[in-house]
Structure 1
């Protein structure tokens, strides 16, 4: 039963990070309705303040809450929005992997298994090469575990959560408790599925592990309604009926009133199991039906249908009820076998991602300058005819570069080119492309208007001119000459280049170390 879970954690980053932190603290504790209200406030404030990073983190918290409340279509809108942002603005690998895994989970829960597994494979490929320490990696692994859990790939989910916890470095009990309680909930879900297919000993071992973790953190005073609800299921499953009923009586009315459907569903499950164990068949059926009404996913509905069938066999023994139960068992076993197909699908998706990455790497190598890592002449030729109206081309020459090579050595000249390339990269956002297309010649494709392009060019020129080049070679100085041209409507790339090149030579004839524009 893929239950909507204790939400996966992120580390909020941004100038007003406390706003997003409050959103995530609420959703970590399972207060999903309150999360949505806090997200409304955080997103309104961060939009006004222009803090896009904190705004994005708050949106992620909203997505977790919507998923937990069963509002999967709304959650998918946010997932696709965040995935689009990561495509446009590349971040740390672990952060990109997290967004992909979160999107995968929503897609899987909506029944789009193929699409979801492709996102899982992309997340796995990124995490294979991401630094394996720190909160980003921990959070991404938690998200990967939740996505795998949604596809009932329990072994992968458990391994991802274990690796995430091993990488954990924060002393904050809230984060560690949420991660361990999430893993405990995974074990309970896994155990219920194992019990349905007749693997009772394995199920019992997982329940015992879950109880140990749940009781530890609840005794520590962690405020987690979902953790209490999962513990109630464990107690009902292991015959600790009085404890299960006590937790249900304490929490279920509050969760129903607050609209916390995930917690309420688990509590109805625990209540039904406990009542059935005491022979109260009719009351047990009432609880299972109440849980069924709150079920969001197909596997959740199937679990309650299975429990209802088992109760019917006990209450009304006979061929008819037994036939219904046997039919359900066959269906459950068939779905369990589908897990093997999903493993194969995931391996195939991962292989496709590897091949795509290999092609991208080969293409990057073919369009990269070996010395500086910038784009090369081949990339320049590709880009020059794609400059849109309103974009600009900046051409850059190193002043008297031949003299630098002759007087200081070609090794020093290479270092100068590498330093200039580093400055260009530092001034390139995702919408700018830096090129070294020959010798000491560089180009920068800009999507800004001419006034802003002038500012960027002047900033680069001043940085190079003001650098202490004596650290590279005593007596060395380096300056740049630049030519800037703004693309005209319908102008061919060759004409744009010719205008920028003419201005570059204007700058050189005027004494070098300057920018020539219109």
Structure 2
């Protein structure tokens, strides 16, 4: 029997939201925002909340790509609140990591590391499939923002196990290796730097073979070529793409191309041209670490053009600052370890709370979970109440063991009919409830499918002669209602079903 659930837990209109995601993942942030405006309005009107949240997430990434960090953070906080209470746990972990990334980029490093530690701790409890890898990619981004290159590298290698995320992973890995390599070059670790920069170029070339017009791929490749002794190729890419990217407002990609152009010109003996391009890159830089890397390059060029005491002193000062930042980076590794210990304690407490609201027999929520969910009801919520008909007779005739197995089977049917963000609970002996994001006709249709699924179940496999039916009442929240009012209305419908002979749905 077909289940009343969408093909994807992101919603029936998943493809609409995914198109917004695809635009921003390929650096087309302005287009993503324009399409996102239309997509969000449609999805909100049609009531597809999972797809709407996905489109909002894509908007957050577009704003991040355009450097509009505070706007992106506001959306991430909205998404974190929504993801915490519904949907796959990996989605919540992903948004935690995205928030951590934004906090670090906004200079709120302690808060960012705390959220990153929570995301890592939560992720370790999840199966290595599906959205686990998407969450791992976001953790890698946050690690890169905090210059925790070892963690970012480990995430990139681990998430490569899933082919769905290999393309986005390749880009993140290339950017991480590029920044890591440049930092090592400036610290004098030429051998380590070369290996990382070479691998970055390889990854960028692999991605460009699949998507030759992606702006960020072109920019990463250009920098990698310039920093590994291929200035001619770097200049060719920069001259073709730099002005169009600046015109599109793609600050991140334009900054990288200015670095590539400047590095290549310096390699070819044009220090003044190099100084000009790196100064332009500095103007587009927003993070302290990025700005210091570029300032060091500028000081190195200035010292080469005019090797006087002032230029040499400036270069030495910046070199000392880079060394200090590198030590601070190592301190952040220690801070993350401490935050991990705190996050593990918090996770253990949360797991204990989850146990407290779970029904041990069926795995559904229990009465405490029911009361909490009832207190959060509002517009768009429907409630169906379900009783197993003559359940006492089943226990008396076939044994309590058989009765428990009946309850478990009914719970499985209810769980299967819940979409993302909806919940089934067992709040009494043979009493169940399902909270749906639906209007009354849809809730009634779902209730009828639940009834039919249980009625049509082959109960003889459990016990010969066993027959199980359900009585169901359905109600929908209306303006002015409180949670108890919704329950009372659904309860009246349930008792109407029982009075009319049971094995019925009344809405």
Q: Normalising by structure 1, report the TM-score.
A: 0.81
Question: Is 2:279 the partner of 1:283?
Answer: no
Picking from 152, 158, 167, the partner of 2:153 is 158
Moved more, 422-431 or 285-294: 422-431
Q: CA 1:449/1:103 → structure 2, altered by over 3 Å: closer, same or farther?
A: closer
Alignment partners' CA distance in 1, 2:15 and 2:482: 48
Q: CA deviation at 1:498?
A: 11
Moved more, 370-379 or 55-64: 370-379
Q: CA deviation at 1:160?
A: 0.6
> Residue 260 of structure 2 aligns with which residue?
270
SS of match in other structure, 1:166? coil
> Residue 4 of structure 1 aligns with which residue?
none
Alignment partners' CA distance in 1, 2:13 and 2:437: 28
Moved more, 146-155 or 230-239: 230-239
Q: CA deviation at 1:129?
A: 3.0
Q: After TM superposition, list the pairs within 5 Å mapping 1:199-238 onto structure 2.
A: 199-218=189-208, 222-238=212-228
Show structure 2 runs of 5+ residues with no match. Answer: 1-7
Kept after mapping to 2: 8 A contact 1:191/1:206: yes
Q: After TM superposition, list the pairs within 5 Å mapping 1:45-194 onto structure 2.
A: 45-91=42-88, 93-134=89-130, 136-168=131-163, 170=164, 176-194=166-184
Q: CA 1:273/1:409 → structure 2, altered by over 3 Å: closer, same or farther?
A: same
Q: CA deviation at 1:332?
A: 1.5
Alignment partners' CA distance in 1, 2:206 and 2:483: 69
Considering only aligned residues, what root-mean-square deviation do their CA atoms show, in Å?
3.9
Q: CA 1:185/1:514 → structure 2, altered by over 3 Å: closer, same or farther?
A: closer
Question: Is 2:46 the partner of 1:42?
Answer: no
SS of match in other structure, 1:477? coil
Kept after mapping to 2: 8 A contact 1:132/1:167: no
Question: Is 2:234 the partner of 1:256?
Answer: no
Q: CA 1:66/1:221 → structure 2, altered by over 3 Å: closer, same or farther?
A: closer
Q: CA deviation at 1:202?
A: 0.6
Q: CA 1:385/1:246 → structure 2, altered by over 3 Å: closer, same or farther?
A: closer
> Residue 3 of structure 2 aligns with which residue?
none
Q: Deviations over 1:90-129 (max 9, x none)?
A: 22x3333222222221222111222222222232233323
> Residue 425 of structure 2 aligns with which residue?
434
Question: Is 2:301 the partner of 1:295?
Answer: no
Q: Which has the larger radius of gyration?
A: 1
Q: Deviations over 1:463-509 (max 9, x none)?
A: 5455443332221123456789999x99998x999999999889878
Q: CA deviation at 1:200?
A: 1.8
Q: CA deviation at 1:151?
A: 0.6
Q: CA deviation at 1:416?
A: 1.4
Count of aligned residue pairs for this structure pair: 496
Show structure 1 runs of 5+ residues with no match. Answer: 1-10
Kept after mapping to 2: 8 A contact 1:125/1:350: yes
Q: Deviations over 1:357-389 (max 9, x none)?
A: 222222333443322234456667x76996989
